[in-house]
Chains A and B, each alone.
Chain A
Amino acid sequence: MNIVIKMPDGETREIEATIGWQVMEIIKNAGVPIRAECGGACACATCHVYVDAAWMDRLPPRKDEETDMLDMALSVEDNSRLSCQIVFEPELDGLTVTLAEDSL
């Protein structure tokens, strides 16, 4: 099982994903320098990612808490998510996200 991480500069990395982990944790564990300042508590908006169009409808929707916290992210788009609020499940194999500038 993998997820694909695109860096803001275009570099792409495929990393091994663990079922049940937050996508933020998977990214961090792979050595990608995502800020994730609050440690996955949905309290800081520094694990902001853009989800590739193909995956938008396959993710559970944002909860209010995540939508509210995204107000503190920069350059928010419709496909913005906090990666600590996406839990990796087998059906997300191949999930592709782009790290936002403010998460690095």
Chain B
Amino acid sequence: MAFQGTPPGERHETDVVIIGAGPIGLFSVFELGLLDLKAHLIDILDRPGGQCTELYPEKPIYDIPGLPIVTGQELTDRLMEQIAPFGATFHVGQMAAGLEKLPSGRWRVTSDAGTVIEAAAVVIAAGGGSFVPKKPPIQGIEAYEGTSVFYAVRKMESYRGKDIVIVGGGDSALDWVLNLQPIAKSMTLVHHRDGFRAAQHSVNQMKALVDAGKMAFHVASVAALHGEGGRLASVSLTSKEKGTFDVPCDVLLPFFGLTMKLGPVAEWGLNLAENLVPVDTEKFETSTPGIFAIGDINTYPGKLKLILSGFHEAALMSQAAFKIARPGEKLRFQYTTSSSNLQKKLGVA
């Protein structure tokens, strides 16, 4: 079931904007919530969890205190359950693109989908940066991106009647082969081996279509692109058995998964050190007051890239964010075990 975020393109006011909905961004909601601070999260992925759900949803993690074994997906699910009482707002499938300081001293974060969020403080919990599609190193591919080369399918209907070439051997590649084949003029799957990292029933369906003459599958790689004005006409494939040969191609869809790029964070005027954001270890604040960085994206003497370190950083960041969002108010440090006030917030008292 797809995760339901808040519709994009709207304007919001809150206490804290968290960039990145990985485990550290999620736990920040909890620590901020205990202090009555409301949070909005933005993530380029279409669901919470960050690397945990994108890279290793099924892999066990053994070093989360109190959870002897938990998978990336389970940890995300448990964190979502833990923060549910605080009603954070999720803006998913969007990249935090712009950051500016308002005359009031508050911050405005804008997403690439037109969402605007104003807040007292900003927390960068972006891990290794934004997940973006891996681009195959085919000469001249940039000239066709957005017109004939796409790394994701948005509107299926725009592929009707086209000569489609899909490259890759994972579930995304196989799923789109099966979804687009019925409406395509021709469908060609290109993969470097006759083996797939995809659901077996998808592979079987694809092979049945090949046997029925309804599509082609080549163990090959894309050697060259041919077309003009950003419009592809054909691609050259190369394989050990068949040498180099051309197939008609209006649309090329490469699916090689995602990789992480620091992205717009690099343009926000923060001090950076080798693509990491230096912070102090009292507040985990960046070189810009009011902007915090926690989790894998920050660096400080002794930093360990561990989820548990990020949880600690989230707790200290929240104390500092409170002082910015609630100037003049007294910060009462309480324990969830003993405070009926906190227990009310958690919905257990």
Binding site for B on A (CB under 8 A): 35, 37-39, 41, 43-46, 67-69, 71-76, 101-102
Binding site of B, secondary structure by majority: helix, strand, loop or mixed?
loop
For A76, give the chain B residue with the smallest CB separation: B192
Whole-angstrom CA separation of A68 from B192 in the bound complex? 11
What are the residues of chain A within 8 A of B59 when measuring CB–CB? 41, 43
Q: With A71-B196, A75-B137 given, is the CB distance from A38 to B56 under 8 Å? A: yes
What are the residues of chain B within 8 A of A35 when measuring CB–CB? 259-260
What are the residues of chain B within 8 A of A39 when measuring CB–CB? 305
- The answer to whether the Cβ of B108 comes within 8 Å of any Cβ in the partner chain is no
Set B56, B197, B259: member contacting A71, Cβ < 8 A: B197
B40-67 interface with A by 8 A CB criterion: 51, 55-56, 59
Q: Are A74 and B195 within 8 A (Cβ)?
A: no
Number of interface residues of B (CB under 8 A): 23
- Give the Cβ gap from B268 to chain A, nearest Cβ, in Å: 22
Q: With A43-B55, A43-B56, A43-B59 given, is the CB distance from A74 to B136 under 8 Å? A: yes
- Give the Cβ gap from A32 to chain B, nearest Cβ, in Å: 13
- Give the Cβ gap from B221 to chain A, nearest Cβ, in Å: 8
Set A38, A69, A101: member contacting B51, Cβ < 8 A: A38
Whole-angstrom CA separation of A74 from B191 in the bound complex? 11
Set B134, B195, B256, B257: member contacting A67, Cβ < 8 A: B195
Q: Are A37 and B128 within 8 A (Cβ)?
A: yes
What are the residues of chain A within 8 A of B305 when measuring CB–CB? 39
Set A37, A41, A69, A72: member contacting B260, Cβ < 8 A: A37
Q: Are B134 and A71 within 8 A (Cβ)?
A: no
If A67-B193, A72-B257, A102-B259 are given as contacts, then 11 extra A-B residue pairs at C-beta distance below 8 Å, sorted by A number, are A35-B259, A37-B51, A38-B55, A41-B55, A43-B56, A68-B197, A71-B168, A71-B193, A72-B256, A74-B134, A75-B136
Q: Are A102 and B134 within 8 A (Cβ)?
A: yes
Whole-angstrom CA separation of A97 from B256 in the bound complex? 23
Q: With A69-B197, A71-B191, A72-B257 given, is the CB distance from A37 to B55 under 8 Å? A: yes
What are the residues of chain B within 8 A of A76 when measuring CB–CB? 192-193
- The answer to whether the Cβ of B8 comes within 8 Å of any Cβ in the partner chain is no
Whole-angstrom CA separation of A30 from B136 in the bound complex? 28
A-B contact pairs, 20 of them (CB 8 A): A37-B51, A41-B55, A41-B56, A43-B55, A43-B59, A44-B257, A44-B259, A46-B259, A68-B195, A71-B168, A71-B170, A71-B191, A71-B193, A71-B197, A72-B134, A72-B197, A73-B256, A74-B134, A75-B136, A75-B221
What are the residues of chain B within 8 A of A37 when measuring CB–CB? 51, 55, 128, 259-260
What are the residues of chain B within 8 A of A73 when measuring CB–CB? 256
- Give the Cβ gap from B49 to chain A, nearest Cβ, in Å: 13
- Give the Cβ gap from B271 to chain A, nearest Cβ, in Å: 19
Binding site of A, secondary structure by majority: helix, strand, loop or mixed?
loop
0 or 1 for each of B302-345: is its CB under 8 Å from A? (1 = yes): 00010000000000000000000000000000000000000000
What are the residues of chain A within 8 A of B137 when measuring CB–CB? 74-75, 101-102
Identify the 5 closest CB pairs spanning chains A and B, nearest first. Answer: A68-B197, A72-B257, A71-B169, A43-B56, A71-B197
- Give the Cβ gap from B240 to chain A, nearest Cβ, in Å: 9
Set B51, B221, B257: member contacting A45, Cβ < 8 A: B257
What are the residues of chain B within 8 A of A102 when measuring CB–CB? 134, 137, 259
What are the residues of chain A within 8 A of B260 when measuring CB–CB? 35, 37
- Give the Cβ gap from A72 to chain B, nearest Cβ, in Å: 4
Whole-angstrom CA separation of A12 from B154 in the bound complex? 43
Whole-angstrom CA separation of A72 from B305 in the bound complex? 24
- Give the Cβ gap from A38 to chain B, nearest Cβ, in Å: 5
- Give the Cβ gap from A53 to chain B, nearest Cβ, in Å: 17
What are the residues of chain B within 8 A of A46 when measuring CB–CB? 259
B192-242 interface with A by 8 A CB criterion: 192-193, 195-197, 221
What are the residues of chain A within 8 A of B196 when measuring CB–CB? 71
Q: Are A44 and B256 within 8 A (Cβ)?
A: no
Whole-angstrom CA separation of A71 from B170 in the bound complex? 7
Whole-angstrom CA separation of A75 from B59 in the bound complex? 26
